[in-house]
Structure 1
């Protein structure tokens, strides 16, 4: 295979805030793998919270170039294991893994979900995320983008008031994500009010390592709780089963589609609900997530919808949440630049 690296800065349509940070652009790394006239694309974004930068990702992958280019284009799972054995980070593994699967599917002439034996007869509607801001700005963003399901970023001392105000303007399903900003007591108390306001579940209310607090929350919270920062890789799934009702799998954090599919199976075996989320990726990363839709209860794949302009074509998400998959095989990605 022939490996090529492309770095971009994705400009967001609006400034995006969560409890611990705010940003206006998202650096991202796009990997392309080519073989026999076909090219597959993968993506991994930078992330300060996890200490991941684009230059570091590029260096990691360049150091593994020989291993990657010598691998079989028809065996993404073995390539993923080889990268793990070579100690590449999860983010680097993700970029290569997504490209390898996209290429494999294009060589086979089938979408990945078809190769994996699933159909798009039914699938969850993606949420659209409203970043943390003044209540007025959050309301204006919601009005600008009418949608059936919203994820609302929280993490302030006015969180219930924010949801109370947003609820006045829509009957859409609400999900809330505190990004580790609450205590166990706050979570339990907030949930009582949030349930009355039509919130479906709470995502990662406590710091990632507060397992004792999450045990209290699990037993006393009136809303389901979904792990995000507490569930990074495959080994985290079993522990999360004792502290959460479900998990949110991020392809970048776990290392790509290969480990993500194993995490889905493990979660199902443990009775957990399953969500896959994004990290403000372009359509490259979002198209990979779309291939998992038939296997999910919930999905957060709005990354490309939050951008001012995209760098790729692939999956399309229409008004109301209908997903249109490309017919080119794999994840169906093509770069526009």
Structure 2
């Protein structure tokens, strides 16, 4: 299955049906699954999820009949419960159909989820004012149930995901332009242009061409016998260009012996335009497929941050990227390690 293909994830919610309606519910679910499966090629998989299952079986429910229905023999069927863990996510492949049994859907109608601020304003100010990144003075489970318990760690750090993008090799034109920044190139060009304009305005006072003399050392007239204006204008230029050329040659030789890199890609659009493919584990980073901008640039692969190939881009957590990218690239020297 092409990993960039459309992810099929249909969530079918069922409630406890009366005995005379159970067959209708089963037929409906089977018909929907077969209709969805007919639209996409590949090995299809039906995943049955039940929070309150005992022994991994749907006993006396519509989903139990769907699970055993012979009309779905073309698809692989799996059952998961609340004990399902992330390391077992390999069983979820695409295209898949996820069937969830919802029990007591209309009971306790007053028990709705509501957004709650987990931080007390005073405690949040305590984190910011005292410059505390992570507070581990108290860690406790929020639930007594082993299946749904989770631990909290208060922190003021903001984290996110970033793309680690390799820098491609520079062209010959870029290589010869890299020793100086654009500000230096602009300054040198303006100085030479102004000297050439003065030479054109006063050809009798400036008998030597400033550009040919300063850059190539060609004298039409002996500079020692020239006038004061010509000496005053050309002598500082000769000294300036001598040091500039020496610095340029030294920097150019160092770039030719190392591996210079091109300009940094800073936006997702620049990444897409560059044609660099993105390696990602689509079993864990499956939300990337829903991103229409980068969907066609994805390659399904196992990501190893210790052995990135310097050819493809990788999706990393920001703090991880800041630590590991220095293993591959020196931002100060702008060269690969």
TM-score bracket, shorter-length normalisation = under 0.3
More strand by share: 1
Question: What is the TM-score with the length of structure 1 in the denominator?
Answer: 0.21
